[in-house]
C-alpha cells in the first residue's frame, strides 16, 4: 500500500504523542502493581528520553561513565531509559546477594524485540528464563562441564602448539594468530577437523558481522527499539526506523551462522566421512526436530560466546607483557624452575597448572585488568524486590559494571596497573580471589568457562615458556609508546599495537616442532 505524503507527515507528527502516552501508561501500570510504592528507587542520573538521550547516555565505553556515576550516586544506581528501569551495580557484595542468593528472581533476560528482529533469539545466553532456556542450558552443561571439558584438552594443546609455531614464523601477526587459534579450538571441538580452511573462513566472516551487530545493540540505550517494543510495527521508511532494515540484514547472517557448519557436518555423517566431534555425537543421537534445533542453537552460541572473547583475552595478555616486563620475567623464572631451561626444557602441559602459582596470578590479572566484558548482559527481575531500602521493580534490567568491580582500590590497590600480586597473599601464595567476572553470575554464568579458562591459561604459560615479549624500538633505538586502548561494545578488544616476540633461546624451535601431548 502506498501512503500519501500527508499521511506520512501525520504519522511522523503523532510519534512523540504515542511515545508519551506509552510511557505514562507503563508507569501507571507499574504503580498499580507495586505494593511498596512508598519506597524510593536507587539514586541516579536524569531519565533518558528521545530529547535528552545524547546528553545523558554515554556515547562510548559506558562502563567508564557508570563508574563515575557510582562515585556520585552510590554503588546501586537507577537509570530510566525510554521508560524502562535499569539498575546498575558497582559493588561485588551486592552482585553476589542479588544474582547468587536471590537468583530465582534475578535470572531472566530482556525480551527484546530488536534481538528477535536480528534473529539472535537462538542465543542461549539471551533467552528468557523458562523451559526453553533450561533445555538449552542442560545440553550446554553436559557438553562443557568440568569433566567433559577434559576431553577437549588434546585439541587445545595442539592448536596452542600451532600458535607457537605461527609466532615463531610470523610474530608480527600475533593478533590474527590469536583469533585463528581461538576459532580453531572451538571449531575442532564442535565439528571436528573436516571443515576446510575455506569453509571456516566463510563462516567466520558471516558470524563476526552478526556478533559485532549484537555487541553494539546490547549497550543500554544504543538502540531505541531495544527498549520500546511497539516500534517494531513502524514501517522501514519511517524516519529513524532504518534499524528494521539493518536487523533484517543481520538476521540473514544469523541464519547462515546456524545452518552452514551443521549442513556440512550432516552431509559427512550421512556419507560416513565425518570425524568424531561434539556435535556429530549429539546429531547421531538426535531423533526429533526439537533436539536438532537445540543442537544447532548450542553450536552457534558456543562460537558466538567463545571465539571473540577468548581471542580478546589472549591479545590482552600480549599487551600486558609488553607494558609490564617485570611480571613477565617473574613468571618465566617460575616456569624455568619447574620445566627446566635450554636443551633439557619442556613445554608446559595442563598438569603443570597447580604448580605455577604466579602464572595463575598472571592469568587472573589478565582477566581483571582489562575484562573482556566491562559490563555484563543485563539480567531482568521477575518479581518486585526491596534491597537496602530501595525499590527494584519487576521487569527491571540489572547490569553489573564489571569495570567498576575490577577498579575497587580497597581490593586491588593501584587498579589501573597490571599486578599479578593482586592475587597473591603476603606469603607469596595464591589468595582465594578466583572469580572471573566476565564469565557472569548466578544461573546465567558462562557454561563454557572451564574450557575458556583452560585455553587462555595454556596460551599464557606456553607463550611465556617460549618467547620474550617486548616493546618495539624505533630507528633511534628508543622504545615505542604502547597505549592500552580498547574498542567499544559489550565485548571489548584491544586496539592494534606493536611488539616484538622473539624465541627465548635456540632450543625452543625444536620444542615447538615436537608433536603435542595433552
Using CA atoms, how far residue 113 sits from 225, 231, 255, 388, in Å, is 7, 9, 17, 32
499 annotated as ligand-binding: no
Cell of 495: 586496539
Using CA atoms, how far residue 311 sits from 183, 205, 399, 499, in Å, is 8, 15, 24, 17
Using CA atoms, how far residue 289 sits from 256, 283, 293, 303, 380, in Å, is 18, 11, 6, 22, 30
In sequence order, what are the beta bridge partners of 399?
A: 88
Among 226, 237, 238, CA closest to 15:
238
| DSSP 8-state symbol, 502 | E
CA angle 392, 218, 126 (to 5 degrees): 75
Q: Which is it for strands 397-400 and 84-89: parallel, antiparallel or unpaired?
A: parallel
Classify 332 as helix, strand or coil: helix
The DSSP-derived string for 288-326 is SHHHHHHHHHHHHHHHHHHHHHHHHHHHHHHHHHHH-HH
CB 194 within 8 A of CB 269: no
Determine the Cα–Cα distance for residues 473 and 477; give it in Å rounded to an integer.
5
CB 109 within 8 A of CB 419: no
Q: Which residue ranges are tagged as binding site for heme?
A: 446
Q: Which residue ranges are tagged as binding site?
A: 446
Amino acid at each position: 500500500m502506498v501512503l500519501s505524503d500527508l499521511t506520512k507527515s501525520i504519522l511522523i507528527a503523532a510519534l512523540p504523542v504515542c511515545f508519551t502516552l506509552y510511557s505514562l501508561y507503563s508507569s501507571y501500570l507499574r504503580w498499580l502493581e507495586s505494593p511498596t510504592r512508598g519506597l524510593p528507587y536507587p539514586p541516579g542520573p536524569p531519565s533518558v528520553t528521545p530529547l535528552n538521550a545524547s546528553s545523558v547516555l554515554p556515547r562510548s565505553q559506558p562502563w567508564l561513565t557508570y563508574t563515575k556515576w557510582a562515585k556520585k550516586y552510590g554503588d546501586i544506581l537507577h537509570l530510566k531509559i525510554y521508560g524502562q528501569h535499569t539498575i546498575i551495580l558497582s559493588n561485588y557484595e551486592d552482585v553476589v546477594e542479588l544474582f547468587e542468593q536471590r537468583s530465582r528472581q534475578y535470572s531472566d533476560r530482556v525480551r527484546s524485540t530488536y534481538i528477535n528482529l536480528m534473529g539472535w533469539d537462538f542465543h542461549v545466553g539471551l533467552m528468557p528464563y523458562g523451559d526453553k532456556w533450561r533445555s538449552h542450558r542442560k545440553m550446554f552443561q553436559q557438553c562443557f562441564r568440568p569433566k567433559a571439558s577434559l576431553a577437549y584438552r588434546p585439541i587445545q594443546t595442539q592448536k596452542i602448539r600451532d600458535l607457537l609455531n605461527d609466532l615463531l614464523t610470523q610474530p608480527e601477526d600475533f593478533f590474527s594468530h590469536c583469533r585463528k587459534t581461538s576459532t580453531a579450538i572451538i571449531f575442532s571441538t564442535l565439528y571436528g577437523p573436516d571443515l576446510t580452511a575455506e569453509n571456516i573462513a566463510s563462516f567466520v566472516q558471516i558470524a563476526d558481522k552478526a556478533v559485532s551487530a549484537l555487541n553494539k545493540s546490547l549497550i543500554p540505550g544504543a538502540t531505541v527499539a531495544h527498549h520500546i517494543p511497539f516500534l517494531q510495527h513502524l514501517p522501514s521508511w519511517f524516519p529513524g526506523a532504518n534499524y528494521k532494515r539493518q536487523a533484517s540484514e543481520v538476521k540473514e547472517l544469523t541464519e547462515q551462522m546456524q545452518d552452514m557448519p551443521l549442513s556440512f557436518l550432516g552431509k559427512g555423517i550421512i556419507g560416513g566421512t565425518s570425524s568424531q566431534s561434539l556435535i556429530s555425537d549429539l546429531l547421531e543421537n538426535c531423533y526429533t526436530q526439537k533436539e536438532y534445533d537445540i543442537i544447532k542453537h548450542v553450536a552457534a552460541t558456543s562460537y558466538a560466546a567463545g571465539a571473540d572473547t577468548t581471542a580478546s583475552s589472549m591479545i590482552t595478555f600480549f599487551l600486558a607483557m609488553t607494558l609490564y616486563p617485570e611480571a613477565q620475567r617473574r613468571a618465566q623464572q617460575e616456569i624455568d624452575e619447574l620445566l627446566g631451561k635450554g636443551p633439557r626444557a619442556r613445554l608446559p602441559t595442563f598438569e603443570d597448572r597447580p604448580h605455577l602459582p604466579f602464572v595463575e596470578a598472571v592469568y587472573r590479572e589478565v582477566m581483571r585488568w582489562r575484562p573482556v566484558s566491562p559490563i555484563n548482559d543485563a539480567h531482568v527481575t521477575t518479581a518486585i524486590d526491596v534491597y537496602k531500602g530501595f525499590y527494584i521493580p519487576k521487569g527491571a534490567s540489572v547490569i553489573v559494571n564489571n569495570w567498576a568491580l575490577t577498579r575497587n582500590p580497597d581490593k586491588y590497590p593501584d587498579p589501573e596497573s597490571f599486578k599479578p600480586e593482586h592475587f597473591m597473599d603476603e606469603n607469596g601464595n595464591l589468595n582465594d580471589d578466583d572469580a572471573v567476572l566476565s564469565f557472569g553470575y548466578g544461573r546465567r554464568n558462562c557454561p563454557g568457562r572451564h574450557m575458556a579458562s583452560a585455553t587462555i591459561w595454556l596460551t599464557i604459560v606456553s607463550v611465556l615458556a617460549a618467547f620474550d615479549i617486548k616493546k618495539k624500538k624505533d630507528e633511534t633505538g628508543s622504545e615505542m609508546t604502547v597505549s592500552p586502548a580498547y574498542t567499544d561494545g559489550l565485548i571489548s578488544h584491544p586496539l592494534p599495537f606493536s611488539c616484538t616476540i622473539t624465541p627465548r633461546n635456540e632450543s625452543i624451535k625444536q620444542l615447538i616442532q615436537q608433536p603435542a601431548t595433552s
